Structure 1
Amino acid sequence: MPIPGMRGTDHVGFTVPDLDEAQEFFVDVLGAVHVYTLGPKRADDDFMAVNLGVHPRTEITEIRFLRLGNGSNVELFHYASADGQAPQPRNSDIGGHHLALYVDDLDAAVAYLRDRGVEVMGDPVTSAGASAGQRWVYFRSPWGMQFELVSFPHGKAYEKEATTLLWHPVSSCDAIRSDPEHAS
Structure 2
Amino acid sequence: MGKSLIGFCRVDHASWTVSELEPVIEFYTKVIGARLLYQMGPLDAEQMPRDAAGRDWTDAHLGVAMARFSLAMLEFPDGFKVELFQYERPVGTSAAPLSSNHVGSHHMGIEVEDLEQAVKVLKEYGCTVMERIEMDSGPTEGRSFRYFKDPWKNIFELVEVRATAPVTVN
**Bucket of the pairwise TM-score, normalised by the shorter protein:** 0.7 to 0.9
What residue in structure 2 maps to residue 178 of structure 1?
none
- Please report the RMSD computed on the Cα atoms of aligned residues, expressed in angstroms: 2.2
More strand, by proportion: 2
| Aligned match for 1:49, one of 41, 50, 59 | 59
132, 135, 145: which one aligns with 1:136? 145
1:59 to 45, 60, 68: 68
Aligned to 1:35, the other structure's residue is in SS state strand
Match of 2:24 in 1: 22
Q: 1: CA distance between counterparts of 2:139 and 2:93?
A: 38
Distance 1:84 1:114 in 2: 28
Q: Which amino acid aligns with 1:22?
A: V
CA distance in 2, matches of 1:34, 1:81: 24
2:41 maps to: 39
Change (3 A) 1:138 1:158: same
Q: How far does residue 101 in structure 1 lie from its aligned partner after superposition?
A: 0.8
Q: Do the aligned residues in 2 keep the contact of 1:121 with 1:139 (CA within 8 Å)?
A: yes
**Which amino acid letter does the alignment assign opposite residue 72 of structure 2?**
R
Q: Which amino acid aligns with 1:69?
A: P
Corresponding letter in the other structure for 1:82 = P
Give the CA deviation at 1:158.
7.5
Gaps of 5+ in 1: 165-184
Runs of 5+ unmatched residues, structure 2: 47-54
1:110 is the counterpart of 2:119? yes
CA contact (8 A) 2:126 2:150 kept: no
Instruction: Flag the 1:51–1:114 CA change in 2: closer, same or farther, 3 A.
Output: same
Structure 2: how far apart are the matches of 1:121 and 1:67? 25
Matches within 5 A, 1:1-184: 1-2=3-4, 3-4=6-7, 6-44=8-46, 45-54=55-64, 56-60=65-69, 62-82=70-90, 84-87=92-95, 88-122=97-131, 124-127=132-135, 128-154=137-163, 156-157=165-166, 159=168, 162=169, 164=170
Counterpart residue identity of residue 94, structure 1: V
Q: Secondary structure at the match of 1:111?
A: helix
AA aligned to 1:67 is: E
AA in 2 matched with 1:32: A
| Count of residue pairs the alignment pairs up | 157
Q: CA deviation at 1:156?
A: 4.7
Cα deviation for residue 83 of structure 1 reads 6.8
- Compute the TM-score of the two structures, normalised by the length of structure 1: 0.74
**1:86-122 Cα deviation digits (max 9, x unpaired):** 4243322221011111112212212222344432123
As a proportion of its length, which structure holds more helix?
A: 1
